[in-house]
Amino acid sequence: MSVNSFLIGITVDVVILLLLGWLLFRKKRFDWFGSHLRDLPAGRLRYLLAARFLRMASVGFLIDLALGGSMSRPLVLLFAFLFGLCGPVVLLLRQRPPFQRLLFVLPIIFILYGIAIVHWRGADLPVPTRAASYRFDALAIFATALAGAFVTTWHINAEGARQLRAETELEAAHAVQQVLVPEEIPSLPGFRIESVYRPAGEVGGDFFQILPTAHGGALIAIGDVSGKGMPAAMTVSLLVGAFRTLADSTSSPGEILASMNRRMLVRSKEGFTTCLVLRADPDGALTVANAGHLPPYCDGEEVAVPGGLPLGLDAQSTYQEARFELRPGAQLTLLTDGVVEARSANGELFGFARAQTCSRKSAGQIVEAASAFGQEDDITVVTLALAGATTVTA
């Protein structure tokens, strides 16, 4: 193998690598990398790639040592660099088909193979130079191994600090939510109310509130905030506070939703919230307004409620009110989409049909049915019936 042909081969391989890299970053929508890296934070991904590169580069120096230190120092550095490059490439393409991995790795392997063969067959260094080569390789191996250990340790510390911050934030959000979700239903003469709240994780996006009105009725709000964690908990705190404040001045569900929408737009710049507000009067008259939430069920039938945009999308949104009667013996059921979006192990949704069938049951039975089916999101169920009336829960 002549030097000229060897250099031509290296040039061709480098061009192929550059072409593949250009295609990769030009086709941004093409999923070259597997899902195992897609959702990683950028900082964590950099640590992983750097540590893998340094470990493989140290192996590159070790190979030159095994070959008797026969390579020139510039080519040893090139050899270690290309060998180290194989580490990140294999990590990035670990879950991709074999042909995609070969497209990136083969040019690097050809270059490495060419360097090794040419110098192994043609070099015969004098002893002092060979000793210097050994020292160079030993120092390089130590330096790359030490740098790899440093990057790995730095990554572990940074990841631990990030996880600690996340856990602290989670605990704070959980504490906020525990305060906002009522532990006990207020005593409301004339009504029988049951509620069950079951978050899918430590902190959920569902909320509900039940307040007495000045005329002996009940004002109920149920909603679902987009997102999770501390941002969702803060949005819930904003909405619950707004609902409680507004309930002192008005009992109109439409007005309450419109005011909550404006406050959410002023205080929260991201996300949206579905919410339904219901007023139940002592005589069984119900008034309801809906902001993109699931409609309620009454005695097993879906109640026709005018729809409105979720909160936090349009400052000019208005919410129409619908009125109907809660007959003695009937049960009104309010729920969040965690019920209908429960998913079984084979991917089947709980769905609206099952939710409607279950809506005659107690809140606890509905939640248990959806959870047993396969809970994926927060589940909240509130049921309302007139006191002294017998409801069907079969």
How much is the pLDDT for 1? 46
Please provide the size of the chain in residues. Answer: 394
Pick the closest to residue 197 from 223, 171, 233 (CA basis).
223
3 state DSSP class of 240: helix
Which residues are CB-neighbours of 207 under 8 A, at least 6 positions away?
180, 181, 221, 222, 223, 224, 225, 236, 239, 240, 380
pTM above 0.75, yes or no: no
pLDDT value of position 215: 85
pLDDT in the model for residue 30: 47
Report the DSSP beta bridge partners of residue 332: 298, 384
What is the three-class DSSP state of 379?
Answer: strand
**Which residue bears the tokens 């902190």?**
203
CB burial of 122-146 (b: ≥16 within 10 Å; e: otherwise) equals eeebeeeeeeebeebbeebbeebbe
Residue 95, C-beta contacts closer than 8 angstroms, at least 6 positions apart = 34, 35, 36
- Tokens 């109109």, residue? 252
Q: Which residues of 39-72 are buried (b: 16+ CB within 10 A; e: fewer)?
A: eeeeeebebbbbbbbbbbbbbbbbbbbebebbbe
Find out whether 377 and 338 touch, Cβ atoms under 8 Å.
yes
> Reduced to 3 states, what is the DSSP secondary structure of residue 195?
strand
* C-beta of residue 300 within 8 angstroms of C-beta of residue 357: yes
Going from the C-alpha of 216 to that of each of 171, 189, 283, the distances in angstroms are 37, 7, 10
Q: What is the pLDDT of residue 235?
A: 82
The CA angle 268-271-277, to the nearest 5 degrees, is 85
**Residue 350 near residue 341 (C-beta atoms within 8 A):** yes
Q: Which domains does the chain have, with CATH numbers?
A: 3-172 (no CATH), 181-386 (3.60.40.10)
Strand partners, 379: 198
What is the chain's pLDDT, residue by residue, as a tens digit (394 residues)? 455 555 566 666 666 666 666 665 555 444 445 555 555 666 667 777 788 788 788 877 877 777 677 667 777 787 788 777 777 777 777 666 666 666 666 666 666 666 666 655 555 555 456 677 777 777 887 888 788 777 777 666 565 556 655 555 555 555 555 555 666 677 788 889 999 888 776 556 788 899 998 888 899 999 998 877 667 777 888 888 889 899 989 999 999 999 999 988 887 667 899 999 999 998 889 999 999 999 999 988 999 898 899 998 888 899 999 999 999 889 999 999 999 999 888 889 999 999 999 999 999 999 999 999 988 888 999 999 987 655 545 5
Residue 198 φ/ψ, nearest 5 degrees? -135, 100
Looking at residue 52, its amino acid is: R
User: How many helices (H) and strands (E) in the chain?
Assistant: 11, 10
Which of 346, 334, 336 has the alpha carbon at shortest distance from 377? Answer: 336
